[in-house]
Amino acid sequence: MVGNCLEVELYYVENLLEIIINVFKIFATCVILNVFCWDVLILLYCMHIILQTYLSMQEVYIQLIVGCVVLLMVLSAIQVIRFGPGYVDQSIKDKLETQLFNELQEELKLLMMSEDRLLDFLDQNQCNQPLSEEQLIHMLNIKVLESKGIKICKTCQSYKPLRAHHCSQCKQCVIRMDHHCMWLNICIGMQNYKYFMMLIFYINLCIILVLITYFKTYILAIEESDFQLITKFTYYHSIFTLFILFFPFFLHHVRLAANNQTTIEYYEKKQKTNSFYINIWDNLKEILGPEWYYWLLPI
């Protein structure tokens, strides 16, 4: 009786902790987006307008461009969340199961008919172990699936497509999973990877424009030795730090997209050759879309 009560209490405590963690993640995501979009960008440009009594037309145009870039950046972030990574839902699992069933049966028949082929297919260690017919069929099932690039998720206990991985945060299998973005609290996968690329592109573009427009005023402030003005431009150094962090990150993902590779595949490096590589242009089209003139639009 006491054991049952403890199990019930533990169950409710675990659920409560999971709810608290999810709420915290959502709150953290909102705070981060707010800090980045408002405190870092809009506040800086408001200060820029206040500090300068006169703005040339060139500076006005640049600020309008930055406004458009900020808008595209926010829209890209919305699209990342809206589209989601593309989860392996039940319909995909059923389709895979139906598609594989007949192929699997044919492969098993051929393997069972030829002892030499069966021995070649299995590992040497597996051949030396005494196996029952049921164990042999189960092992052959797994081997045939792996040879076709299809694996069984150990957590979901179901088929998952090629390049799909189980996310411990989302608790689902993600199609062509790249990574779990803790800042947006969502996985980056096949459906939203394009928008994620656009997001980090516009973040970098926005940072570069901010650095360019602030540089002239920053140099003037240093030459005039205006201490009060210089202290306000600690923001400039913060933005430059963001550039150092985000630009290599963007280049890394450009390289991954050009090689038709995910972050997981890059770090695993199980295969010396990338079997998904076609050529740079077709790799980019596969990820960003067939029409190149839509690549930078969050649609």
Contact between 203 and 73 under an 8 Å Cβ cutoff? The reply is yes
The CA distance from 268 to 262, in Å, is: 10
**167 token code pair:** 């996310």
Number of neighbours of residue 86 by Cβ within 10 angstroms: 19
Q: Are 227 and 141 in contact (CB under 8 A)?
A: no
Question: In whole angstroms, what is the distance from residue 169 CA to residue 174 CA?
Answer: 11
Residue 173 near residue 114 (C-beta atoms within 8 A): no
Is 181 a residue of the active site? yes
The one catalytic residue among 46, 68, 153, 181: 181
Backbone angles phi, psi at 169, to 5 degrees: -80, -50
Contact 160, 88 (CB under 8 A): yes
- Backbone CA torsion sign across 233, 234, 240, 246: negative
Question: What is the rounded distance in angstroms from the CA atom of residue 244 to the CA atom of residue 232?
Answer: 20
Q: Which two tokens stand for residue 290?
A: 């067939």
Q: Is the dihedral of CA 53, 59, 60, 64 positive or negative?
A: negative
Distance CA 190, CA 178 (A): 8
Q: Which residues are catalytic?
A: 181
